[in-house]
């Protein structure tokens, strides 16, 4: 299996409001930048779409180190929340799960690829997280125009 690094970030002006996401895929010396936006969204949707869209770029099953500054997305996998939601029909113990269609897409991708989740502090010293943030903010600003 190929080894890939993915960095993702989401940005939203207001919550909800215009939002964007950014991602960087690294394979060996090659890098690919991605970004996208929605005119009315939430920060969590943008964080999820960054990871989903990046993983959807992979053409074959890969080992992936995925870096995000979203504790919500990272912990959903590291603490087993996704498994619980899946077993409950994409519901939380306390009721509705927000963005179930995105969680289902991300869960399916994580079953195709061997994803290791890494949380990084946002707006800190991680070069790739900062680049993803810049991509997400630029996409968000373009969506708001």
Q: Which residues are catalytic?
A: 9-10, 47, 69, 123, 133
C-beta of residue 24 within 8 angstroms of C-beta of residue 33: yes
Sign of CA dihedral 115, 120, 126, 132: positive
What token pair was written down for 134?
A: 């810049």
What is the distance between the alpha carbons of residues 105 and 94, in angstroms, rounded to a whole number? 22
C-beta of residue 8 within 8 angstroms of C-beta of residue 31: no
Q: Which residues share a beta bridge with 10?
A: 21
């Amino acid at each position: 299996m190929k080894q890939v690094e993915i960095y993702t970030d989401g940005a939203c002006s207001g919550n909800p409001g215009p939002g964007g996401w950014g991602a960087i895929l690294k394979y060996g010396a090659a890098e690919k930048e991605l970004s996208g936006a929605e005119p009315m969204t939430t920060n969590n949707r943008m964080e999820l779409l960054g990871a989903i869209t990046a993983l959807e770029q992979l053409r074959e099953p890969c080992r992936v180190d995925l870096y995000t500054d979203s504790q919500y997305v990272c912990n959903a996998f590291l603490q087993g929340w996704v498994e619980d939601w899946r077993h409950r029909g994409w519901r939380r113990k306390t009721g509705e799960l927000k963005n179930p269609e995105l969680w289902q897409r991300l869960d399916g991708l994580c079953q195709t690829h061997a994803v290791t989740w890494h949380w990084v502090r946002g707006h800190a010293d991680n070069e790739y997280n900062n680049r993803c943030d810049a991509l997400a903010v630029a996409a968000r600003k373009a969506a708001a125009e």
